[in-house]
Amino acid sequence: MGKEYKKIELKPDTDLAKVVDDVCKDGVPRLLERDGVPVAMVSRPEEAAKGVTNPIGHFDREKFLSFAGAWKDLDTDKMVEDIYRWRHEAPVNPPVEFDDDVSS
């Protein structure tokens, strides 16, 4: 796992200068969240350049890799054949028609 960071709930009275000072002192990046949603990351420039302070990207990559193995036993040739067969077996949908009056 990447470098650890501290979460800070961003509020109107959050002292961002203090957050920056704390990062400079201890070197630990701060993840700023609003209502539990990540909105910004404060880190030292050298850490940001390394890309080690992106917990969202790290999470997405880990999640993606965890799913990659789930398809290892899938017969992809059969899957493609099935998809094409299902396309031909499915009834043809009529084209979509829109009303001429688009005003609400």
**Tens-place pLDDT, residues 86-99:** 998 988 888 888 88
**Tens-place pLDDT, residues 31-60:** 999 998 999 999 888 877 676 555 555 566
How far apart CA 10 and CA 36 sit, in angstroms, is 9
**pLDDT above 70 for 102:** no
DSSP string covering 34-52, please?
ETTEEEEEE--HHHHHHTT
Q: Which two tokens stand for residue 16?
A: 């961002």
How far apart CA 15 and CA 58 sit, in angstroms, is 27
Q: What is the pLDDT of residue 1?
A: 40
Mean per-residue pLDDT, 56-80: 77
Of residues 50 and 82, more confidently modeled: 82
How far apart CA 17 and CA 103 sit, in angstroms, is 50
Q: Considering the chain, what is the average pLDDT of its residues?
A: 82
Domain ranges of the chain: 6-88
